[in-house]
Amino acid sequence: MRSIESDVVVGRLPALACLRAGRREVYRALVYENAEGIEEIIAALPAERIVRTDRASLDRLANGARHQGVVLEVSPLPLLSLGAWLDKGVPEQCVVLILDSITDPMNFGAVIRSAAAFGAAGVLFQKDRAAPITPAVVKASAGGVEYMDLIQATNLVRDIQRLKKEGFWVNALDAGGDRLLWQADLRGRVALVIGSEGMGIRRLVKEHSDFIVSIPIRKELDSLNASVSAGIALGEWVRQNQSGFSDVEKAPRT
């Protein structure tokens, strides 16, 4: 198990999520004297961990992010290897997101937010060729990162192969898919691959996926934002698994 470098949580909603999730130790809460809406944050911590400071100090700590009058200094979140994540025990019905070369922090955080909102079991992303989990990513996730298993891959294709051996059906979202998203069977153990807006999903990742599925959009438009694609795909996963409905039979794996 490894840890991310970020040890700062910026903004009201991310700070509340951090406190409620309880996965990190909170060393200090630095708050602006006249900030509004931070009463619950202050009440959740011992008085000696509350440091009242000025806006300029918070601006420096937040490194340009909108802090809304509160910055937490916290212990790092854990980053899991795929093996460590699997060792925790994986349910027979779950979804994991696989992010291929998503380098934009806002997109990365928004994808994690969707994953947490729809109940994904984890988010798998690359150690290289991907945005690191910084305070900007944490804030963009609106606190979702605090509830999500974060799985870091040194070799994405190898981890995809491992997931397949563990019974996951890997669906890569790509405009050139051979079936529409809602024609795919997303029951059981499912992985959804999301590519970057610029590069899309790399060839080797596609080749090691079980299915290539697409979200229909207007022909005049090239693609969707990565976080939007993730949200649509996760919504379809919820629909199929909560209703028990699917009109597509799984094809045999070759």
pTM for the model stands at 0.87
Distance between CA 203 and CA 154 in Å, rounded?
17
pLDDT tens profile 124-134: 999 988 888 88
144, 213: one domain? yes
* Beta bridge partner(s), residue 10: 71
CA gap 189, 86 in Å, rounded: 12
User: Does 251 fall in a domain?
Assistant: no
| Rounded-to-integer distance, Cα 190 and Cα 93, Å | 8
Q: How many domains does the chain have?
A: 2
Q: What is the mean pLDDT of the chain?
A: 89
Asked if 52 and 114 sit in the same domain, the reply is no
- Residue range of the domain that includes 13: 7-74
The CATH number linked to 51 is: 3.30.1330.30
Residue 254 placed within a domain: no
Listed residues 35, 56, 74: the one ending a domain: 74
Q: What percent of the chain stands above pLDDT 90?
A: 68
